Amino acid sequence: MPSDLVNPKELRKIAAEQAMKSVDEALAQKKHAEEEARQVHLAFLERDIHPDVKNRVSTAVRRAAERGEHQVLALQFPSDWCTDRGRAINNFEESWPSTLTGFAKRAYEYFEKELRPLGYGVRAEVLNFPGGMPGDIGMYLTW
Dump pLDDT digits (tens) for 30-42: 999 999 999 999 9
State pLDDT tens for residues 95-106: 999 999 999 999
Question: What percent of the chain is predicted at pLDDT more than 90?
Answer: 94
Residue 79: closest CA among 129, 142, 140, 32? 129
State pLDDT tens for residues 60-75: 999 999 999 999 999 9
122 - beta bridge partners? 141
- d(CA 143, CA 98) in angstroms, rounded, equals 22
All residues at 6 or more sequence positions from 107 whose CB lies less than 8 Å from its CB, including other chains: 49, 74, 75, 139
Q: Which residue spans within 3-117 are E strands per DSSP?
A: 71-78
pTM higher than 0.75 for the full model? Answer: yes
Buried b / exposed e along 111-127 (16+ C-beta atoms within 10 A): beeebeeeebebebebe
Q: At what angle do helices 8-46 and 102-110 cross, to 10 degrees?
A: 30
Determine the number of helices (DSSP H) and then strands (DSSP E) in the chain: 4, 3
Residue 3 has pLDDT above 80, yes or no: no
8 A C-beta contact, residue 102 and residue 81: yes
